[in-house]
Amino acid sequence: MAASHDDPRLVRLAGALYLVIILCGLTAELMLRGPLLAGSPEEVVRALGAGISQLRLSLLADTVMLLADVALALVFFGLLRHISASLALAAMVFRLGQAVLIGASLMALGSVPMVLADAPRLAVHMTDLHAIGYDVGLILFAVNSAIMSVLLWRSAVPNVIAGGIAVSGVVYGAGSLARLVAPEWMAVIEPAYVVPMVAESALCLWLLIRARV
């Protein structure tokens, strides 16, 4: 049965997918992978050697996040196209583009267990390649966030959440560009990542609890 744009079931599905993305993304990056990749290349090689199962779990969490992200792109298009079909389509395209880049970066990270024993420094480079792919993907997500903020501003979602999503796009874009071309600025930008965490969590809760767009 087709669902209308304000069908609470579809809105709550979007919220559930968003929750999966938040939980899996934070788990993969901060809890599983982050501790393995801290320190000098030599320290990273030792940590990876002792924590391959932990790295593989991070790959699994990221894969679940990626699948949820693709599904959410499609669900958001269905929910928001009544506001502006062209903007909803653009938001979907940029979110799917991010998913493609993150998926490609996971291929680099997935090669780490295979090359670690024979070429440990190459394994470290593969983790760097994954990080670069993730950052480029987040630049596309920054554009998605800007478009989504316009759509959400015109929806039933509170304007403060829509504004938070707009600011989140600025943070994602600035952070990813800084990592790529001016890493010395990351210490200044990193505290601002609290904004996306709060704004996206608020949107997730709105979708789950209020179930209105």
What's the pLDDT score for residue 199?
A: 98
- Side chain identity, residue 103: G
What's the pLDDT score for residue 2?
A: 36
Tens-of-pLDDT digits for all 213 residues of the chain? 334 457 899 999 999 999 999 999 999 999 999 999 988 999 999 999 999 999 999 999 999 999 999 999 999 999 999 999 999 999 999 999 999 999 999 999 999 999 998 899 999 999 999 999 999 999 999 999 999 999 999 999 999 999 999 999 999 999 999 999 999 999 999 999 999 999 999 999 999 999 999
Question: What is d(CA 79, CA 139) in angstroms, rounded to the nearest whole number?
Answer: 24
What's the pLDDT score for residue 5?
A: 55
Inter-CA distances, 57 with 92, 110, 111, 162, 181, Å? 28, 11, 14, 33, 30
Determine the longest span between alpha carbons in the chain, in angstroms.
56
Per-domain residue ranges for the chain?
A: 8-210
Coil, strand or helix at 75: helix
Q: Where does 81-158 have alpha helices with state H?
A: 85-110, 112-115, 120-153
What's the pLDDT score for residue 28?
A: 95
What's the pLDDT score for residue 1?
A: 30
What's the pLDDT score for residue 117?
A: 87
What's the pLDDT score for residue 4?
A: 44
Say which residue the tokens 């979110």 belong to: 95
pTM of the model: 0.92
What's the pLDDT score for residue 190?
A: 93
